Chains A and B, each alone.
Chain A
């Protein structure tokens, strides 16, 4: 027998690194989605905080060197929250919790693994692109073209990964259900994930097409139109505003319905109404049509009747869903006890924030107020994304035992983080809403003209918004600490 044979016999088990990168176990991959997503949200919050600091003095560049740099961080904040943060974090729950709710296992686990790694590679490239003076274009054309191209390519890969994972999740829900479980019988998280995945699969494809168009024009000779530095963001911006961002809130409403039902040990009444309402919420979230860049002469698409009707119609739909949630809370209040579960508290707060966000979204499109380009848009984004982060965090805490393990859960610390996230979101949302009513622009730049020449009152409001950003960041940091302690406790237990 040779040395190699001896060694092979004694030591053929894969190393920890090999196991980590070759696994097709959805739970292991969910940790990559979840940790990667929450890290991106944290980085996005830091970018938002820096932009908030710059906004304290609207007339000059204090933190950054130029308006282009401010824009890079401002757009990075939105990209990090939506495509690199919340959607992957939702995917962590969609690939683990949802299959279990369907009574089966994730279909196409290898494709799901490839989706996860592709997203991770794309996210890394996107972040690298932003860091080396790229990003998604700049108003003054001051970015590096190669770095912008790298960001676009990273974004395309991230979108590709998310699309592939969505296909796996949808296929699992449709064809991987246990016998006797119809689509109508699914728990709300699984149902809203199916509706949400249908909508975001449609939208991400269009977003990828936008990115390809801009990328192709960006390369080689000077850009004709789509790849011009000052035009790229506008082509992609529809994904980060009304109505498209509502689709991120849909699974969070499903999570809230499930968590409250579980905490109160009470079945939701009017189940069919809630199924229809959540489907309607999904339909009203389809925002790929609202592409301001391709506006034809006449009324801009954001002011067209379809956008306005959608913005108003989603308010009663959200109200119906939150009403269902309130009804369950009322009927099951006796089972909650004096200390309701932290995740139920956070998920209810998230649902209320979604409702508030839809109201702000409706106010935003009232034509005579002319709020579309003001910081009301930022307030709307902050409220929706804050609610989504809160809801996703609640989901992670509730199903943390399945994702990480039973030991080391810290509900008190989690609740503290959740309250900080909720408080921070409210502060940012309210301050930016009022600033928008005082004419502050959504992107303020580094001079008063770009900032919209707002009233003097916005200075104080921007400070309040900054405090809100700090609270949000603090809450996220507490959650990361909670998650790390939870993981470490279970690692130690396993060892």
Chain B
């Protein structure tokens, strides 16, 4: 018996084929062109004809898949699997970081294509990292029937990789951002900035160590705000540029041969 899905999509296929042939004949095709996919003559409006023919192909495929798998009815699935009842189509999944990071990665790729290749490469790295993480999450969920054991399996495999990589990236980005801030400041200003920032970080660390009951959210909040502040300042100062460097003798551009002007 033909299934409802087959009737829908194969019906679409037949209708679209008729539409393609009709469009061909009414837009200047030869007698045999639209019937032979352009092999024996012209098809009229190429764009219309091509799009309709491709749509017909896709819809025919949908129809054939629907009838082959009996519209994926639960009874048919159970029969194929040799079970009395088909398993749930979708197991419950918990929260996940990867969809939102995936979207941000794709967004970064898009912005990078428009703005700068470096941003594009960052997007590429994010997408690649998300692809690996997402795959490993899916793998770990099939290790056993116990979600806790599955999560542990994932942690055991991925933590030794994630922590060093994330740590390196984090330190690298922060060092880069701080260096931009210091290079944008005057010579004396850079000393003051480094001193004040160092004292603030040290003071906060002492405060946190003295308050063991401090909520974890507060600690995370302090770290988040601090990192965002450094990053934003780093980006702003990178855009505004470094301070001027006056070269001794006005000739060689070597690091050890220049003196900095305080301005």
Chain A residues engaging chain B, CB cutoff 8 angstroms: 3, 6-8, 10-12, 14-15, 18-19, 21-24, 104-111, 113-114, 116-118, 120-122, 125, 146, 149-150, 153-154, 156-157, 160-161, 172, 174-184, 194-195, 198, 202, 206, 279, 282-283, 286, 288-291, 294-296, 298-299, 301, 304-306, 309
Contact = CB atoms under 8 A, between A and B. Distances in A.
Contacts of B88: 104-105
Nearest to B77: A175
Contact of A118 (B27, B62, B97, B103): B103
Given A22-B95, A153-B113, A283-B12, A114 B103 contact: yes
B217 interface: yes
A176 B19 contact: no
A286 B106 contact: no
B96 A153 contact: no
Q: Which of B96, B97, B216 has the most CB of A within 10 A?
A: B216
Contact of A3 (B74, B100, B212, B220): B212
Interface of B: 3-5, 8-9, 11-12, 15-16, 19, 22-23, 26-28, 45-49, 51-52, 55, 58-59, 62, 66, 71-75, 77-78, 85-86, 88-90, 92-100, 102-104, 106-107, 110-111, 113-115, 134, 208-209, 212-217, 219-220
B193 to A, nearest CB: 29
Contacts of A15: 217, 220
Contacts of B77: 175
B45 A286 contact: no
Contacts of B52: 289
Contacts of B115: 146
A365 to B, nearest CB: 14
Contact of B104 (A111, A117, A180, A301): A117
B93 A109 contact: yes
A23 B26 contact: no
B48 to A, nearest CB: 4
Nearest to A117: B103
A23 B3 CA distance: 36
Q: Chain B at the A interface: mostly helix, strand, loop or mixed? A: helix
B102 A114 contact: yes
Q: Chain A at the B interface: mostly helix, strand, loop or mixed? A: helix
B89 A283 contact: no
Contact of B48 (A104, A184, A282, A291): A291
B51 A198 contact: no
What are the 6 closest A-B residue pairs judged by CB atoms, nearest first? A117-B103, A113-B99, A121-B107, A305-B26, A175-B72, A179-B74
A176 B90 contact: yes
A348 B88 CA distance: 36
Given A107-B90, A184-B4, A279-B11, A160 B72 contact: no
10 contacts: A7-B216, A22-B97, A105-B90, A105-B92, A110-B98, A182-B71, A289-B19, A289-B23, A301-B47, A305-B23
Contacts of A104: 88-90
B215 A7 contact: yes
Given A104-B90, A118-B106, A120-B103, A7 B74 contact: no
A3 B94 contact: no
Contacts of A125: 107, 110-111
A25 to B, nearest CB: 8
